[in-house]
Every structure is written in C-alpha cells, then in structure tokens.
C-alpha cells in the first residue's frame, strides 16, 4: 500500500522499550552517589592496618577524618609516609587544633563530646606522627579517637 515495504514483525508480548530507561536511571543514580566523598586525597590511598577489635563508626556527621600517608606529589611535599592531610591539603600536626575547631563549629554544643576523630594512616607511617596528632587532639579535648583499620580477610 505504501512505497516502503513494511517489514512484517511479530507483535512483542512484553514491551521492552522502557527497560533501557530503567537501567539508565539506576546507572545515573550510581554515578551520582559514587562522587559523594567529602575530600579528595592529596596523599596516596593509605593502606590501613588490619585488626579484629574494630568498632563501626555510627554517625558519619560526628566524624572528622585525618589522613596520614605518602603524598601523591613527592617533589612538592617530600617523601615518606608521614604527610598529614586535613580537609583537602597537606598540613602539619600544629594545624590539627584549628581543624578540630572548624569541625566543631558545624555541630551543636551538646554534640561536642560525641565527636570522633578518625585517623586513617598508612601502615608504614611512623608512630611519631601519630603521637603528634594525638597530643594535639588531647590539647583540644577531642578525646574520642578511632584508628581506621580493615577487618581481617579484606
């Protein structure tokens, strides 16, 4: 009847045209949620030690994280696994009190004692660096500390 020969197709029982739409929605969801990390690591991803007596950090909003490890750019920052990263840049232990105060300002007064500091340090870092951080935390009364570790077998 028309100039174009209509190819004879069987009528599909289930209309699967919407399937890619659903899958794309799921895909975009995952693409968006994977970028929810607060800080970009200026240091290489610390290899966490493994431990069995670990506790999960319950409330993410009460956690401030200090990263310790090797810088991604040794020419600028120096070698060694002892670079401390606060927020988004390499800092020294002396800047830890200011970091804790800035995190505290975002919380209600009553929640201050429940704040936890998570230290994510590479397993080859020196204990001296960790001790420096710990002393500064003690000075500002940030007494709840969690040394990030992986469960054994991970």
Binding stretches for other proteins (CB under 8 A): 6, 16-17, 19-20, 23-24, 26-27, 30-31, 33-34, 37, 48-49, 51-57, 60, 63, 68, 116, 118-131, 134, 137-139, 141-151
Please, which residue, 25 or 75, has the CB nearer to other proteins? 25
CA 75/CA 89 separation, integer angstroms: 15
Indicate the DSSP class of residue 154.
Answer: -
Which are the contacts of 103, defined by CB distance < 8 A and separation ≥ 6?
64, 115
Please, which residue, 18 or 75, has the CB nearer to other proteins? 18
Please, which residue, 17 or 110, has the CB nearer to other proteins? 17
Indicate the DSSP class of residue 35.
Answer: T
Least CB distance to other proteins at residue 33 (A): 8
Integer CA distances (angstroms), 107 to 51, 61, 64, 114, in order: 30, 9, 11, 10
Least CB distance to other proteins at residue 130 (A): 6
Least CB distance to other proteins at residue 152 (A): 10
For residue 6, how many other CB atoms are within 10 A of its CB?
A: 7
Please, which residue, 33 or 76, has the CB nearer to other proteins? 33
């Amino acid at each position: 009847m028309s100039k174009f020969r209509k190819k004879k197709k069987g009528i599909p029982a289930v209309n699967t045209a919407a399937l890619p739409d659903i899958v794309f929605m799921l895909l975009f969801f995952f693409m968006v949620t994977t970028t929810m990390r607060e800080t970009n690591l200026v240091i290489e991803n610390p290899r966490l030690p493994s431990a069995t007596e670990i506790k999960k950090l319950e409330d993410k909003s009460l956690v401030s994280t200090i990263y310790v490890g090797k810088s991604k750019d040794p020419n600028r920052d120096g070698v060694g696994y002892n670079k401390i990263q606060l927020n988004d840049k390499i800092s020294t232990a002396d800047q830890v009190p200011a970091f804790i105060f800035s995190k505290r300002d975002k919380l209600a007064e009553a929640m201050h004692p429940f704040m936890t500091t998570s230290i994510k340090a590479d397993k080859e870092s020196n204990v001296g660096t960790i001790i420096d951080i710990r002393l500064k935390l003690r000075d500002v009364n940030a007494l709840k500390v969690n040394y990030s570790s992986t469960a054994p077998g991970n």
